[in-house]
Amino acid sequence: MQRFLAKRAVSSGVSLILLVIAVFFLSRLTGDPTDLYLPIDASQEARENFRALHGLDQPLIVQFFSYLGDLVRLDFGESIRRARPALEVVTEAFAWTLQLAVITMAIVSGAAITLGSLAAFNLGGIFDRIATFFSLIGASAPDFWVAIVAIVVFSVGFGWLPTSGTGTVWHWILPIAVLFIRPFGLILQVVRGSMITALGSAYVKTARAKGVGPRATIFVHALRNAMLPVLTVIGDQAAALLNGAVVVETIFGFPGIGKLMIDSILQRDFSVVLASIMVTAFAIFLMNILIDLAYAALDPRIRY
Amino acid sequence: MADPLLEVRNLSVTFDTARGPVHAVKHVSWAVNRGDVLAILGESGSGKSVSSSAVLDLIDMPPGRIDSGEILFEGRNILEMSAAERRGLNGKRIAMIFQDPLSHLNPVYRVGWQIEETMAIHGTARAEAKAETLRLLAKVGIPDPQAAAEKYPHQFSGGQRQRLMIAMALALKPDVLIADEPTTALDVTVQAQILGLLEELQKETGMALVIITHDLGVVAEIAHRVVVMSKGEIVEAGTAAEVYRNPQHPYTKRLIGAAPGKGEIHPDELDTPPILALQNVSKQYGAFTALHGISYELREGETLAIVGESGSGKSTTARLLLRLEEASGGRALYQGRDLFAMSPKELHGLRRDIQMVFQDPTQSLNPRMTVFQLVSEGWAIHPGIVEKSRWKARVAELLREVGLSEEHMHRHPHQFSGGQRQRIAIARALALEPRIIVCDEAVSALDVQVQAQVIELLDRLKAAHGLSYIFIAHDLPVVRDFADRVIVMQGGRIVEQGGVRQIFDAPREEYTRNLLAASLDPDPEIQARRRAERLERQKLAGEAA
Amino acid sequence: MSDTHTTVAAARKDPGEPGPLRTFLKLLRADKPATCAAIFLGLVILCALFGPMLLEAVSSKQNLRGRNAVPFLFGQDWTMWLGGDQLGRPLLARIIVAASNTMAIATGAVAASLLIGSSLGLVAGYSRGRLGQMIPRLADVIMSFPSLLLAVIVLYMLEPSVGNIVLVLAITRIPVYLRTTRAEVLEIRERMFVQAAIVMGASTPRIIFRHILPVILPTLVTIATLDFAFVMLAESSLSFLGIGIQPPEVTWGLMVAQGRPYLTSAWWLSFWPGLAIILTTLSLNLLSNWMRIALDPTQRWRLETGGKKNG
């Protein structure tokens, strides 16, 4: 177990370092923040001062190593745009995204697992067809389009829900509903496929021969066996949400990490970009560990 | 006479498939009373398990449907009961155990919980069920029940898993136990133990036992009465001894005639020079030693059988010989050269001399290739055997030789039966004109009648092509009919080797004797004698210990 | 039971097996939704191939009187039936023309990632040496990049041309094929018929291309179909965020974005191209579901018995 964790930490660490190097150099190639933050007619001296203040006057390689040096001391640098520590800005945004992701995934997983299992049990029946049809549409819908259509209908048309921002419970409904759709469709299909296999298996036959009722057959005997591939997609979908649902956050003006990342790239606020990547990468690393632990908890044949 | 306990009357079941409806069973009737042991005997596809699946409501409808008949339990037609009512019978009054207990036990729950569940569903309190589970585990011979209940199915051996299934089925002392091929995948000695356990429990509880099997030996060992099924119909019924002694239906006659272990035993060992010699061959997987330095010779024109139970290392020798795996030590001399030390290039030239026929032709033939492609592939790999322009003619020739016809050339493997597929695999091996063919359980997966035909084919080909066989098998009667010489293996070592007559008539080692005693004879009378001897032996062993 | 089927099949004379194309069409017809999907995709492909050639001029002609023209005015030219955009250009014609870029990008990205990913997967799965260990790590590294972010940075830095968008999308999709192929190869490598080929002396390329690849190809095709839908959605998102294709080039995603400011007054500007995206991805999903069954010999009966249980 400890060896497994150590191995995972090392391989994730290597990925993260590569990621940081790549993003550090790539992002500098997008241009000089000075042009963006100072007026066009700013004096040469003002430019020099700005560069010196943010360490942009050094050669790129020196900037990189001084950045690494700061990192070791857990100093993620300063946001040029906000004049606040980058880490603070990022954790604030990440807290929003995390809440959104957790709530959405909880609802999605519960709904998709229940309905997918019932669809598999009802294979070929009317419920199965309806569930399959809607899950296919869900998996096919572009979220940005669903988002703007939802705004037109529910906010502009009926005036039931706010169009953007945060503050009340009502603000959460549209983003969650929009984010719900695609993962729901994808997960439901995986649940259904995996449950069809599980329900056709020999141990389900044994359960029936024992006199186990349909509900326990589905949710006790088959479901636990069918969960491994389901966990994998849930993990993938959750990772996508943690990386920031950029489009949805942008449309609904939701102050999450996805929106922050895009804005920071466009604003050449490099330390924020890098800090965001590291924070989300760390969160995803933790989540993957959780998923691996869940595998082992569900299936006793898996041991690390 | 009162109503039988369980009676299947005039049952017909149809499955709708891609190729139209398949009548799985037609007008099948049988009945059992308390204390009965009924065997339903049939080959694959005979529909032998369908009626019992119908009893337990295990047939999926659709694609299945029941066209006619009734199933009476204590005089009531259970086909007319509600689903809930039938669930009330399943596990409580009528229980079932299956072939392949590993896949029939739920892999993600503790075995104790699974046994308790049977009782809990039918109303036993959990605490009571827990205590009863421990008693049951002890009863079916699982050591340390307390610890065993906390384990998962994959942590047990094959024989133990079947014991767990039996404990689960017997939890509520059912009136009828249906056992569907309960010992098929097990080693002979384990099979004897499981059948012994079933019989003992049946005597003790007085339940009715329905045993579904393809094996005449199992019938002879345990059944009082037998019904013989072929193509969905019952062709014969009677007491086990009667049916064996005096079969009426031509199918039953053929089936009994094909049972191995009755034919001419091969005369003395051949005196030809050795063609292949294994010297001190060993194989290790990490810390586990699969082969402890074994040595043997294969003589020219001989059939050398290697027998042993699972884990004896009998297949490992074949895999090493064909360089599917690398040996850890030792030599394999063929024409004076060491096969294990050859470079891939040298080996390539020799590949065609030593060919292999695998256990399951369904898996050893690439499903996406036609018979022509399968048989001719070797000629593309080894140019110079057959000119490309003659491929078609030569494939046709080979197919005829193995008992197929040349029209079969453009079909795919899935369009053939198991026996036909094995013939294709043999044709493929012959195409390379080898000198040695290694048959790894090559007939184990086949029905008895097909098995007899394939053995006969192999025998004929040996004479015609001057082949030598290494015949790896667990089934002793087949070996008795086919081999010239026998090597008995256990735990990666050779226990005994000798001519087939010596091994079968005068085994020197205790292990060989046990193995022979555990193998089942299709004749109920012989089997009764053997069983008596076996029990005697066990008793002596018990007293000595 | 299965044995009865096969003997029945073998016993029956087959008067020349139907050709693969006919079998294919028969299986497709058995699944109504998949048939509709295939027809719709055929239509989209035709639009993508010939649309720009025939309608380029019409679709870019501005017409001040037709600004945000209301849809369903069937009295007008057919190109205006879905309305006009903010510059009065006919929406239907623009959607047909945009199909070309949309499909081209997705096709390029899927083809590139399929080719590279599955080749790497074959090598990773079959070689037992260091290479077999190293290649999967590459997939891990790519997977740990937030893909949209990667796209944003690359496209912000390089210019957002068709080629660059294809490149970015292809890179992010390589792991999908790499992992699937590797997992399948690892399993198939151990199957008996591969061992039988080794015993015959077959060379490694022969084993990979004759014995392993044909078996995993159906899975790869099925995944590629599904992935085509994914890539289309990703491309649309990029265009929507303004870092994908730039005007005057046009894709469906870009059209949705361009219509966004007029949402409250002229919903159809964003609605129609969005619908085109949904219908295309839905068709791809349906087709991929059908393939999963049709290309699997053990599942095919579901279609042959009359398609009662498809899906």
Q: What is the spatial distance between Cα C300 and Cα C303, in angstroms, rounded to a whole number?
A: 6
Mean pLDDT score, B72-78: 91
Chain A contacts in chain C segment 251-290 (CB below 8 A)? 253, 256-257, 260, 263-264, 267, 270-271, 274, 277-278, 281-282, 284-286, 289
Rg (CA), chain A: 24
Asked if B107's CB is within 8 angstroms of A203's CB, the reply is yes
B58: Cβ contacts below 8 Å, ≥ 6 apart: A205, A208, A209
pLDDT digits (tens, 9 = 90+) for B423-455: 999 999 999 999 999 999 888 888 888 888 899
Among the residue ranges B301-305, B392-396, B535-539, the one predicted with the least confidence is: B535-539
* Domains: count for chain C: 1
pLDDT at res. C300: 67
CB-defined contacts A:C, below 8 A: 111
**Within this chain, do residues A93 and A241 fall inside the same structural domain, yes or no?**
yes
A80: Cβ contacts below 8 Å, ≥ 6 apart: A33, A37, A54, A267, A268, A269, A270, A271
Task: Report whether C250 contacts C60 (CB < 8 A).
Answer: no
The yes-or-no verdict on residue B68 having pLDDT over 50 is yes
CA-nearest residue to A217 within chain B is B106
Q: What is the spatial distance between Cα B340 and Cα B333, in angstroms, rounded to a whole number?
A: 8
Direct distance between the N- and C-terminal alpha carbons of chain C, in angstroms, rounded to an integer: 25
**Within this chain, do residues A26 and A153 fall inside the same structural domain, yes or no?**
no
Instruction: Label residue B294 left, alpha or beta by phi (over 0 means left) and psi (-120 to 50 means alpha).
Output: beta
Tokens encoding B272: 């030809």
pLDDT at res. C246: 81
Q: What is the spatial distance between Cα A294 and Cα A53, in angstroms, rounded to a whole number?
A: 48
Measured between CB atoms, does C156 come within 8 Å of chain A? Answer: yes
Mean pLDDT score, B86-108: 91
Name which residue leads in pLDDT, A267 or B34.
Answer: B34
pLDDT at res. C311: 32
pLDDT at res. C69: 67
Residue B271: Cβ within 10 Å count = 7
Measured between CB atoms, does A224 come within 8 Å of chain B? Answer: yes
pTM of the shown model: 0.83
pLDDT at res. C7: 38
Task: Report whether A103 contacts A95 (CB < 8 A).
Answer: no
Q: What is the spatial distance between Cα C311 and Cα C304, in angstroms, rounded to a whole number?
A: 13
**Within this chain, do residues A60 and A181 fall inside the same structural domain, yes or no?**
no
> In the Cβ-directed half-sphere of B334, how many Cα atoms lie within 13 Å?
19
Of B107, B122, B168, the CB nearest to A301: B107
pLDDT at res. A68: 82
Q: Is residue A174 part of a domain?
A: yes
Measured between CB atoms, does C183 come within 8 Å of chain A? Answer: no
Q: What is the spatial distance between Cα B205 and Cα B223, in angstroms, rounded to a whole number?
A: 16
The yes-or-no verdict on residue B304 having pLDDT over 90 is yes
Averaged pLDDT score across all residues of chain B: 89
DSSP H or E segment with residue B274:
strand B274-285
**Within this chain, do residues A35 and A160 fall inside the same structural domain, yes or no?**
no
Bridge-partner residues for B40, per DSSP? B212, B227
Name which residue leads in pLDDT, C155 or A90.
Answer: A90
The domain spans of chain B are 35-57+82-257, 274-506
**Within this chain, do residues A250 and A135 fall inside the same structural domain, yes or no?**
yes
Domain end among A39, A72, A105: A72
**Within this chain, do residues A99 and A57 fall inside the same structural domain, yes or no?**
no
Among the residue ranges B197-211, B370-384, C277-291, the one predicted with the least confidence is: C277-291
- CA dihedral for C70, C72, C77, C79, sign (positive or negative): positive
Residue C125: which of A15, C117, B363 has the closest Cα? C117
Q: Quote helix, strand, coil % in chain C, to nearest 5.
A: 75, 0, 25
The yes-or-no verdict on residue A61 having pLDDT over 50 is yes
Measured between CB atoms, does C198 come within 8 Å of chain B? Answer: yes
To the nearest whole Å, the CA of B140 is away from the closest chain A CA by 18
B53: Cβ contacts below 8 Å, ≥ 6 apart: B59
User: Is residue B135 classed as helix, strand or coil in its secondary structure?
Assistant: helix
The yes-or-no verdict on residue A223 having pLDDT over 90 is yes
pLDDT at res. C301: 63
Residue B478's Cβ-count burial label (10 Å; 0-12, 13-18, 19+) is: buried
**Within this chain, do residues A54 and A103 fall inside the same structural domain, yes or no?**
no
**Within this chain, do residues A68 and A94 fall inside the same structural domain, yes or no?**
no
Q: Is residue C179 part of a domain?
A: yes
**Within this chain, do residues A231 and A132 fall inside the same structural domain, yes or no?**
yes
User: Is residue B45 classed as helix, strand or coil in its secondary structure?
Assistant: coil
Tokens encoding C229: 């839908």
pLDDT at res. C74: 66
DSSP H or E segment with residue B295:
strand B288-299
Name which residue leads in pLDDT, B381 or B533.
Answer: B381
Q: What is the pLDDT along chain C (311 residues), one digit of tens a residue?
A: 333 333 333 333 344 445 667 777 887 887 788 888 889 889 888 888 887 777 776 677 777 676 666 776 666 677 666 777 777 677 788 888 888 888 888 999 999 999 999 999 998 888 877 777 778 777 777 776 667 777 777 777 777 788 888 988 898 888 889 988 988 888 888 888 999 999 998 988 899 998 999 888 888 888 888 888 888 888 888 888 777 888 778 888 888 888 888 877 777 888 888 888 889 888 988 888 888 777 766 666 666 654 443 33
Asked if B84's CB is within 8 angstroms of A213's CB, the reply is yes
- The ipTM, to two decimals, is 0.81
Contacts of B103 in chain A (CB under 8 A): 201-203
Tokens encoding C175: 């792991």
**Within this chain, do residues A271 and A126 fall inside the same structural domain, yes or no?**
yes
Class of domain B274-506: alpha beta
pLDDT digits (tens, 9 = 90+) for B234-266: 999 999 999 999 999 999 999 888 888 777 777
Q: What is the spatial distance between Cα B352 and Cα B434, in angstroms, rounded to a whole number?
A: 6
Task: Report whether A141 contacts C278 (CB < 8 A).
Answer: yes
Instruction: Label residue B168 left, alpha or beta by phi (over 0 means left) and psi (-120 to 50 means alpha).
Output: alpha
Residue B51: which of B84, B108, B94 has the closest Cα? B94
Cis amide prior to B63 (ω within 30 degrees): yes
Residue C64's Cβ-count burial label (10 Å; 0-12, 13-18, 19+) is: exposed
pLDDT at res. C158: 74
Within chain A, what is the greatest distance between any pair of CA atoms? 86
Q: Is residue A81 part of a domain?
A: no
pLDDT digits (tens, 9 = 90+) for A253-298: 888 888 888 888 878 788 888 888 888 888 888 888 888 888 888 8
Q: What is the spatial distance between Cα A139 and Cα A187, in angstroms, rounded to a whole number?
A: 9
Task: Report whether A149 contacts A223 (CB < 8 A).
Answer: no
pLDDT at res. C249: 82
Phi, psi of B91 (to 5 degrees): 85, -30
For the domain covering B35-57+82-257, report its CATH number.
3.40.50.300
pLDDT grade for B476, boundaries at 50, 70 and 90: confident
pLDDT grade for B38, boundaries at 50, 70 and 90: very high
Range of the domain at A62: 2-72
Contacts of B416 in chain C (CB under 8 A): 6, 10
Range of the domain at C92: 30-304
Asked if B105's CB is within 8 angstroms of A300's CB, the reply is no
DSSP per position, A47-113: HHHHHHHTTTTS-HHHHHHHHHHHHHTT---B-TTT-SBHHHHHHHHHHHHHHHHHHHHHHHHHHHH
Q: Is residue C17 part of a domain?
A: no
Contacts of A296 in chain B (CB under 8 A): none
The enclosing domain of C215 has a CATH number of 1.10.3720.10
Phi, psi of A11 (to 5 degrees): -70, -35
pLDDT digits (tens, 9 = 90+) for B379-406: 999 988 888 899 999 999 999 989 888 8
pLDDT above 70 covers a percentage of chain B that reads: 98
DSSP per position, B180-247: ESTTTTS-HHHHHHHHHHHHHHHHHH--EEEEEES-HHHHHHH-SEEEEEETTEEEEEEEHHHHHHS-
**Within this chain, do residues A93 and A15 fall inside the same structural domain, yes or no?**
no
* Domains: count for chain A: 2
Task: Report whether C239 contacts C251 (CB < 8 A).
Answer: yes
Among the residue ranges A1-10, A176-185, B401-410, C113-122, the one predicted with the least confidence is: A1-10
Q: Is residue C88 part of a domain?
A: yes
Q: What is the spatial distance between Cα C201 and Cα B354, in angstroms, rounded to a whole number?
A: 10
CA-nearest residue to A282 within chain C is C144
pLDDT at res. C302: 64
